[in-house]
Amino acid sequence: MPLVFAEPPISLSTAHSLAVFFAGTYVGSLYFSKNARLSFKQGGIKLKQGQQRTKEQDERWRDDPDVIRARLTAASLSTLSSCTAVVLLVWKLLRWAPKSVTDNVDQEFPIALETTLARLGFDLPSSWLELVLPCLVTPVLFLGPLYASWLSSSLPFQRHWSLKCSVLPLFTTWQGVRNYVVGPITEEIVFRSCSLATYHLAGASRAKMIFLSPWLFGLAHVHHAWDIYNRYGRTGSAARRAVIATLFQTSYTSLFGFHTAFLFMRTGSLIPPVIAHIFCNIMGLPQYSAQVAMFPHRRKVIRMAYLLGIAGYIVTMNRWTSSPRSLYWRSAHDVAMF
């Protein structure tokens, strides 16, 4: 059980500043080194509607292997620095706490480290049910898309699925490592673990932590607009496309942030949010219209699967995520601790 405080030891404005710092250093690290920065040819290029231009030889695009490698290194170091900042914060708060908390000065930092790891969700659940059930909530929500995947025989061990083509590219290419390994892990640590840990220390309400903190996660994707604008020709049309795409991405990443913030707070563990992040990156956004067009004779069943997924999510999001170990979701009968 992590060391707790009887009253919020930091102010809400301090928590806001730290959350902005975590998000800013994470995004900023992607542009800190020359190897991580993108470069594009200057000047506008007229293209057909929706057409992406061809990459020039001397350009550096987001999916270039050397750019991905540099950015993965930068993001990992930024994540480590954010975790270190939380450890130092808790250590400082511990040193300011009454001496009855710990009488041994030599034990202050080990206690701060241990309690910070617990606050960041690095503790393992006490049972396999506490580990597995929260990880199944997101697949329940995706019942409709999963059913459509089953119709197309692309689920694991179906006809159009194979270990070589369906799994290995996720973990043996630089894009796969970014999208399905390092990206989800580092983003959940920074935007969920570190941010929510500081907001909890500030005594923020559950509603604020779930519905306000994820907006930083959404806004952290705004920088992709520059990439879209350049890839689609640096014209007025490309600018409009970049704005629309960025607004859409900011919206759905914020919605996703609400979901993973809830999972993290309910379970007190980082594992369910990371698994949900990886799963959603693999599945992509639901394509209801395209799936109905592909299987028109199953239109009603697909619609029913989508509705059942939403209903199942509403039911399971509370029942499958409860954990008595979570510091972030105390019952009304418990004394508030921070």
Residues marked as catalytic: 187, 221
Residue with tokens 């500030």: 202
Measured between alpha carbons, how far is 273 from 282 in angstroms, rounded to an integer?
14
Q: What is the dihedral of CA 149, 152, 153, 155, to 10 degrees?
A: -10
Measured between alpha carbons, how far is 12 from 204 in angstroms, rounded to an integer?
7
Look up residue 251 and give its two tokens. Answer: 């919206």
In 10 A of CB 105, how many CB atoms? Answer: 9
**Residue 39 dihedral angles phi and psi, to the nearest 5°:** -140, 140
Measured between alpha carbons, how far is 24 from 109 in angstroms, rounded to an integer?
27
Measured between alpha carbons, how far is 22 from 29 in angstroms, rounded to an integer?
11
Amino acid at 178: R
Cα–Cα nearest to 312, from 137, 155, 157, 173? 137
Is there a contact between 194 and 86 (Cβ–Cβ < 8 Å)?
Answer: yes
Cα–Cα nearest to 94, from 78, 113, 80? 113
Residue with tokens 């928590």: 15
Look up residue 74 and give its two tokens. Answer: 């930068």
Measured between alpha carbons, how far is 194 from 225 in angstroms, rounded to an integer?
26
Beta bridge partners of 60: 39
**Residue 60 dihedral angles phi and psi, to the nearest 5°:** -125, 110
The helix (H) or strand (E) run that includes residue 81 is: helix 65-96
Residue with tokens 């993973």: 260
